[in-house]
Chain A
Amino acid sequence: MNKQQEAISRQKIFDAIKQASPTAPANIDAIQKEALELLSLNEDARPAALHDDPSIALEMRVEKGLVIGTSCERIATLADLPNAVKTFFAKHKLPKVAKVQETEQLQSLDWNGIGINADIIEDDTVGVCLAEYGIAETGSFVVSSSKDMPILLNFLPLYLVVAAPKSKVLAFMDDYALIANDIAKQGTTPRNICIISGASGTTDIEGVLVQGAHGPEFLHLVIVDDL
């Protein structure tokens, strides 16, 4: 397809839209105002929160088994993360090797006795990373792409341990989306934003749920009280 043909198609689409809706085009301010008002309908259109404290609500959600393949624990500071990872290894009878996200905050921890540079290309590995946010409504964590965060770290390992600061656990998906909207306004949206809510799963063969379809089979969320 050449550029010229695409420009013609583009014009065709815009012309067809204008022709189909003969109402005079609203001004941008009016459209934006209308779009904003649509968000205010949220109040009565969200599931009930399990707890007033989002981090407790998130824990409750996981404990109720509502987040596929996911377990949860709480630690006081990030320094406790290596121990949490060790316990996770023991629970799943895994060798003490993981791929720890190459970010200062995690790399500077005392990983004594744990290999932290596993090759995630291999299957059956453990990934350890730091989430930017947690979301109580859906039992989710949020990561976005950067030089410190390879997106594949969240997808290639069979086991994933994710630490999220308690202060960044939000009540609803909208709470995160509004933050993302602000980032978009500044034109600094990262290449990827992933909202991940549980382990990888499929029901494609006879409707039976199997975890670990392509991504992690087990997910462990660690809420860090002081981070």
Chain B
Amino acid sequence: MQANKPQNFYKNVSEALAQPNLKAIIRRTTDKADAKRAEAVSNFPGFENARTQGQKIKDHVIKHMDHYLAEFEKNAKAQGAIVHWASTGEEATKIVMDICKQHEAKKITRSKSMLGEEIGLSHALDHSDMERIETDLAEHIIQLAGDPPSHIVWPAMHRSREDVVKLFRSNHKSPTQSEEIIDLVRSARRDLRTKFLTSDIGISGSNFLLADSGSSCTVTNEGNAELTITPPKVHIVTAGIEKLVPSMAHAVPLLRLLTRSATGAEITQYITFHNGAKREGDADGPEVSHIVLVDNGRTKMLADGMEEMLRCIRCGACMNHCVVYKHIGGHAYGSVYPGPMGSVLTPHIEGLEVANKQTHACTLNGRCEEVCPVNIPLPKLLRALRAKSWSKKYEPITNRFVVSAYAMLASRPKLFQLSSSMGVVMMKLFSRKGWIQSMPFTSGWTSNRDLIAPESKTFMQQYKKQRKSSNTAEKQQ
């Protein structure tokens, strides 16, 4: 599947809506996630307090980002890690690729990382002579299918069991003949097991960076991160600078929020903190440890008053609960991060001019903010991006014209009332049996639904007339 582009959003949306079973495919995952999240929240009376605590922890780090970055660097180096800095995605990818080349690596195992996708690492590895091996089951599936991820937690949610059967049969060494999900998982287990153990370099992302120890934290259900990181000689972490927290004790409240919000689970099975290189005498572990700290638009968010977005812990709850995402799916957004959080992040990564259409693909209904575990005001941020896009004149000229004309009228009440009554007269011309099925300039509405026909006069006209007659009646008395 060819990756969509964010600038082709309209086309992507049409294609998504034309896909007959897309809604069912999406709901299979999001409905379950929504229900399980609701249950997890109702079983946790302290959830609101936890949210406040989580938000405050993130805000504290955002406020003192430079301090914590320096702390992290110092402590990671003290444990033998090599710390790298990248201000762009290209720089980050180049750093990783150079390390791989330096070690003459042939096989690279990877544990799922959205940042890795963001900086284009998959693409770079695929265009090298190294073999990229995705070890998260979902990433494994979409790697075999050649798909981009469609969700940040369930990147292969768009693929059915039947798809997986076909993919595994044509790609696994000793594939299963069964179509049972358990046997498919076993088939992947067998196939990936030897790859884990023979990999030259393991690459992971990080859910949290602990400033006090210089550790990076991985969170998985499968245990693939540890199997990716431990056997190879070299471990490379790529992490966004917003992943910092002061210490493990500060990561804990965020972990409580993360898993409940993502999958509805109270905890994920594997939370592992990775700290520098293997110590002398250690039974296993990588001998070399690299950490690449990536900006790629994050400091731009700080500068643009979008710092609340840096709270994001990538749980995916906003997309699971988004009416738009639930109808068009992740691929339509054309970017690594879909849904509400993606519509805020992507303009900072790929540029607002490229991704401003997504900021409008939102009814501002506020559901995403309501479920966000760290209280990110997503609708407010999306609206702020629209305002920026407006002031930069990225909006289509026709939209600008219509909206400006509206403001001109609406700021002049007399004129507005006059044009409203004229509008009513116009609409009456097109109404049949109380409804308007089509009329000029309303196709946006009437292509899919009828428009109620107005009464013959506006409220104001009727009200004034009524007042006048009641006043006259009073005088006559």
Contact = CB atoms under 8 A, between A and B. Distances in A.
A44 B303 CA distance: 34
Interface in A159-218: 173-174, 177-178, 180-181, 183-185, 187, 189-208, 210, 212-216
Contacts of A9: 85-87, 91, 295
Interface in B1-41: 28-29, 32
A16 B226 contact: no
Interface in A121-180: 121, 123, 137-140, 145-152, 154-156, 173-174, 177-178, 180
Contacts of A205: 137, 141, 156, 161, 164, 181, 184-185
B424 interface: no
Given A178-B249, A194-B271, A197-B268, A41 B56 contact: yes
Contact of B53 (A45, A173, A194, A212): A45
Contacts of B57: 38
Contacts of B303: 16, 19-20
A38 B245 CA distance: 11
Interface in A63-100: 66, 68
Interface stretch (B187-195, B335-343, B349-357, B466-474): B187-195
Contact of A35 (B53, B223, B250, B293): B250
Interface in B373-406: none
Interface residues of A, number: 87
B269 A197 contact: yes
B215 A189 contact: yes
Contacts of A44: 46, 49
A98 to B, nearest CB: 17
B299 A20 contact: yes
Contact of B271 (A139, A187, A195, A207): A195
Interface of A: 1, 5-7, 9-10, 12-14, 16-21, 23, 25-26, 28, 31, 34-35, 38-39, 41-42, 44-48, 66, 68, 102, 121, 123, 137-140, 145-152, 154-156, 173-174, 177-178, 180-181, 183-185, 187, 189-208, 210, 212-216
Given A21-B302, A156-B227, A193-B275, 17 more contacts: A10-B85, A21-B65, A45-B49, A45-B50, A139-B267, A145-B283, A173-B256, A174-B249, A189-B273, A193-B272, A195-B271, A201-B269, A202-B185, A210-B182, A210-B185, A212-B189, A213-B189
Interface of B: 28-29, 32, 43-46, 49-50, 52-53, 56-57, 60, 63-67, 69-70, 75, 78-79, 84-87, 91, 94-95, 98, 135-138, 141, 154, 156-157, 160-161, 164, 181-182, 184-186, 188-190, 192-193, 196-197, 210, 212-215, 221-224, 226-227, 230-231, 241, 246-253, 255-256, 263, 266-279, 281-285, 293, 295, 299-300, 302-303, 307
14 contacts: A1-B84, A6-B86, A13-B299, A31-B64, A152-B284, A177-B251, A184-B75, A193-B273, A194-B226, A196-B270, A202-B138, A204-B141, A204-B154, A214-B192
